Amino acid sequence: YSCSRSTLSRRHWQQTTSRAVKDSEQHKLNLQQEAELVKYIQELTTRRLPPTREMIRNFASAVAQETLSDSWVTRFLHRHNNCLLPRWASAMDSNCHYAESYTKYKQYFDILYSKIDKYNVEPENTYNMDEKGFMIGVIGRSKRVFNKRQYERKEVRQSIQASNWEWVTVLACVCADGSALPPGIIYEAAGPAIRSSWVDDIKPEQHLAHFTTSPTG
């Protein structure tokens, strides 16, 4: 194995240590602590809660009992790039995540296609209306650290967001022939958070828009 007798002798008599052990002594966390941190990040990914760099820094600082730098996080991720993967990700409302299932999607499209065939619905009479919610005060995408295997297998690519945020909903309606209706915007409810000045520049003769409020949104 091209290893000198003197090197083996020093290792045997514990006069020297392995490179891995030496490196661990220079790190803020030892090998076991880093392995546990990697395992915890992977568990969070499985729970659809991949952590941010700041969260990882806080976890490690608590273990090391000192404040670690962002550079430490960079080196940590580089050391474990075989199992951890930083990526930009969008957040999904927790209620939406738990409501999703392949069975529900399949059932929906099976019913849809059966009705189209039954009533011979033409494309120009087919509209799809969908809604997109935006959480007020929440950035659309953030840098998260994933379990590399789960991310590459497309098992987890989003993070779950708490469902107790204020929402603004946009309604879009597009026809199968390519035309579209003007979008609609729904605020959570009528109240002091809604300002009439937001729509002062809207001119009915120039913009296809209609505004109204109700106690429930």
Query: Tell me: the pLDDT tens digits for 54-64?
Result: 999 999 999 99
Neighbour count for residue 86 (Cβ, 10 Å): 19
Q: Distance between CA 31 and CA 27 in Å, rounded? A: 9
Q: Distance between CA 190 and CA 170 in Å, rounded? A: 16
Range from 103-107, 158-162, 210-214 that averages highest in pLDDT: 103-107
Q: Distance between CA 163 and CA 94 in Å, rounded? A: 6
Tell me the residue type at 116. Answer: I
Q: 129 — phi, psi (to 5°)?
A: -110, 130
CATH second-level architecture of 19-91+141-157?
Orthogonal Bundle (1.10)
Is the CA virtual torsion 113, 117, 122, 125 positive or negative?
negative
Mean pLDDT calculated for residue range 7-20: 70
pLDDT tens-digit readout, 110-136: 999 999 999 999 988 888 888 766 665
Q: Distance between CA 132 and CA 167 in Å, rounded? A: 10
